[in-house]
Chains A and B, each alone.
Chain A
Amino acid sequence: MDVAKQGAARVGDDPLNGIEMAEAGSVTVDTHEAHGHEAHHEQSFWSKYVFSTDHKMIAMQYMFTGIVMALIGGYMSYAFRMQLAFPGQSVPGYGVVSQGEYNALVTNHGTIMIFWVAMPMLIAAFGNFLIPLMIGADDMVFPRINRLSYQIFLISAIVLIASFFVPGGGFGGAWTAYPPLSANAQYNLTPLGATFWIVAVALEFVAFLLGGINFITTLMNSRAPGMKMYDIPMVLWMIVIASILFMASVGPLIAGAVMLFMDQVVGTGFFDPNRGGDPILWQHLFWFFGHPEVYVVLLPAMGIVADIICTFARKKLFNYKLILFTVFATGIISFFVWAHHQFVAGIDPRMANVFTVTTLIISIPIAEMLFLYIATLYGGSIQLTTPMLWALAFIAEFLIGGVTGIFLGASGADIYFHDTYFVLAHFHYTFFPIAIIGFYAGITYWFPKMFGRMMNETLGKIHFWGTIIAFNCIFIPLFILGAAGQHRRIYNFQNFPDLAGLQDMRVFATGALIVMLVFQVVFLVNFVVSLIKGKPAGKNPWNANTLEWTTDSPPPHGNWPDGLPNCYRGPYEYSVPGRKEDYWPQNVPPDTAPAE
């Protein structure tokens, strides 16, 4: 990337040449005015909140849709955990959970939490909000495609929710949707639910492909003058690498979704062994996407955590380049590990050896990344604010998720642990830090920028401790249950004599879940109250370096009405010796010699 060449180029200088002039054209010059002008216009409710092309508004739309979906997903988990703790009894607020409903609940809980919570909240919401602000641009490069992306996403969410209300009920074939169960209504008994499910998932992929293209091109092309490769905040690197991983891995699954859809609707037999198809093919198509997907949601959360740790430890990120290389390595290796989800699912046993090796290899860059994060704390001046607590909790909890993954990646041990609650607890220890802790870290950190007001620290800390302690109380018992051989997606363990005796632990986990869900009310209250009466935040409440803190909170349309900033240094120049302040914003021109 030859950014250096145009390092000093000012906004309005046209860095393009030849034919490209045609594109840049005359718009460059008058855009400032256009924006300034527009800001004074009263926009109608519809164009401001619903059909907005402003990246910040689209980020909010993604975020609030994500929160609503998270509440739905959380409600589902409440219903099925209650069923497990008190089998057969009517669940307050739901009713009796039948077998089919139980399956539909766990299936859609998984689907929602990954595709409609983790992805929109981490990649789409923070990506949309942060990318233009952090690179000093006025918007995403394709605002209308951005809007389209959200609209498709919204439709996909509606289709998914609608799948619960069609005859036959919601799809209950697990979020992995293995055929022939998912392909054949005669087996899954939810002809419409299964089709709605696959359509919703496919639409969601399209939405994120459009969004991803936007993120990637924006970061590649639209950085502030002077922002070189290593001046990009880590969170943006990670969001964009995640988008690239998503784009490169999702193709086979889109093809697979088309095939599954045809199997369901047209009656083909792509995955039907009786008609020349092969059910194993879907598993490969699914996991070829499914494993990189883990890193697609992990990386943005890691990035958010990196930025927060640096700000509140007042430290430069420990070896920025090495972290970046571990991210690259993780991204590349993540394409080589997919079949470790299928060790006992019928793949040739010889292939399992290959995938064991690659899976253990991928543990190395991830472990190194966590070590580097911990090392960043060294020599810092650590302030335990709410966002920092969340960020540190991310590391602490994800570490458990990471190390328990080794058991499952090692083929021999996976024979026993496959599809038990051990797996379940393992990936909740990864996905919960990613989707929930990562989100809370991000929202508590950027809330002042998003809404111009500070969140309440006391409520924030109550929420933090309530959530974290309850979370561990839910899932540590599940590790033990998994080790005792309890397998997943069973609506009532009383049907299995060897497992019936462990009921106390299930009740305990369910109790902890309810406590955790109740504590989320604290967050919602804090959110709403702070929105209305929080302390005004000012431009840069955390004394952070990155460019988003140099504009007003919340940023106006066009982000920097008085001209877009330039970038002079890396994002983590905290506590530089010889400076009065312990931070050095990226947009402040060097006071002595010119940068670099």
Chain B
Amino acid sequence: MLQGIYEFIKSIFEPLGDYFIGSLVPVGSSFAADIDSLIALIAVFVGFWGLLAYIAFFFLIFRFRRKDGQRAKYVTGEEKDLKRWISWPHAAIIVCDVVIVFMAIMVWYNIKQRLPEADATVRIVAQQWAWNFIHPGPDGVLDTEDDIDTFNELHVQEGTLYHYELVSKDVLHDFSVPVFRLKQDAIPGRVMKGWFKPTITGTYDVQCAEMCGVGHGIMGARIIIETPEEHAAWMSQNKGQLASATTR
């Protein structure tokens, strides 16, 4: 049922989310629209309250500007009829907060807590200041002969659900793919797991979003999202070989 409520609220804000964020960055993964809609929902809620506050603010400044011979009112703010101007918005804000919390947690759960069944797993190894991507190869399994190891180039297939295993060799890094709306820190000594499912094709940025030293500003990679045919072609070209050996 929760999922139903979530889907309903999301569907209301989806076009707006697409307008706010989708117009700047392509919507590239199965959960990107969820995040965009959440952002739109928050924007509408806080925008409403912010606007209201601004209207009240500027109205009061204008209405009660200094006029000769007119004294200010003496009110303590503890009068019932005045206090309700505070307590009603207060209650309404709590309601808004509850909705935001609910939506935020649903999105969070879907992206970070849940780990849906994967079609393939990629290993992402971050180091100062580059990305190594280990693709599972045609057999879809990591740590086999046909793994494809690339450098600063991640090849994925549209419509395939990937798990990632994120590790770091030295310091903190952050695997950030704006088109996926995905971000996860890589922590030395830990394996961070997660998932994504590309829904468009093209070549986009992978960024490192955690300060990682002098070369942090050049630590970008490209993610290449291919159609199944293109992906198969790429795999057969590089099968079993460490592509990184040639590009490195």
- Which residues of chain A have a CB within 8 Å of any CB of chain B? 99-100, 102-103, 172-174, 176, 178-181, 184, 187-189, 273-274, 278-280, 313-322, 343-346, 349-350, 352-353, 356-357, 360-361, 363-364, 367-368, 370-372, 374-384, 392, 395-396, 399-400, 403-404, 406-407, 410-413, 415-420, 480, 483-485, 487-492, 495-499, 574-577, 582
Contact = CB atoms under 8 A, between A and B. Distances in A.
21 contacts: A102-B217, A173-B211, A180-B172, A319-B78, A322-B78, A346-B185, A353-B105, A353-B108, A360-B100, A371-B53, A375-B86, A376-B77, A381-B64, A381-B71, A406-B46, A412-B105, A416-B35, A484-B25, A495-B218, A496-B207, A496-B220
Contact of A317 (B77, B106, B184, B192): B77
Contacts of B174: 344, 419
B198 to A, nearest CB: 15
B107 A316 contact: no
B187 A346 contact: yes
Contacts of B38: 410, 412-413
Given A99-B215, A349-B108, A489-B216, 7 more contacts: A172-B211, A314-B71, A322-B86, A367-B90, A407-B46, A410-B103, A415-B111
Interface in B161-200: 170-172, 174, 176, 178-179, 181-185, 187-190, 192
A410 B213 CA distance: 29
Interface string B115-136: 0000000000000100000000
A377 B60 contact: yes
Contacts of A380: 60, 64, 72-73
A258 to B, nearest CB: 21
B34 A313 contact: no
A375 B65 CA distance: 14
Contacts of A403: 46-47, 49-50
B72 A315 contact: yes
Contacts of B100: 360, 406, 410
A313 B93 CA distance: 27
A416 B50 contact: no
Contacts of B109: 353
A288 to B, nearest CB: 18
A221 B184 CA distance: 50
Contact of B104 (A273, A274, A411): A411
B2 interface: no
A319 B72 contact: no
Contact of B217 (A320, A480, A491): A491
Contacts of B217: 99, 102-103, 489-492, 495
A315 B73 contact: yes
A102 B209 CA distance: 16
B24 interface: yes
A374 B183 contact: no
Contacts of A497: 205, 222
B209 A374 contact: no
A181 B42 contact: no
Contacts of A487: 176, 207, 209
Nearest to A172: B214
Interface string B25-38: 10000000011001
Contact of B35 (A343, A345, A412): A412
A324 to B, nearest CB: 12
A370 B49 CA distance: 12
A424 to B, nearest CB: 12
Contacts of B204: 498
Contacts of A313: 64, 72
B212 interface: yes
B237 interface: no
Nearest to B203: A497
A316 B214 contact: no
A314 B66 CA distance: 10
A286 to B, nearest CB: 13
B108 A411 contact: yes
B8 interface: no
Given A279-B187, A496-B220, A360 B97 contact: yes
Contacts of B192: 346
A317 B72 CA distance: 12
Nearest to A347: B185
B205 A496 contact: yes
A372 B50 contact: no
Interface in B56-93: 56-57, 60-61, 64-67, 70-78, 82-83, 85-86, 89-90, 93
Given A187-B171, A375-B86, A574-B72, A382 B209 contact: no
Nearest to A372: B86
A367 B188 contact: no
B61 to A, nearest CB: 6
A274 B74 CA distance: 66
Contact of A480 (B24, B35, B90, B211): B24
Contacts of B86: 318-319, 322, 368, 371-372, 375
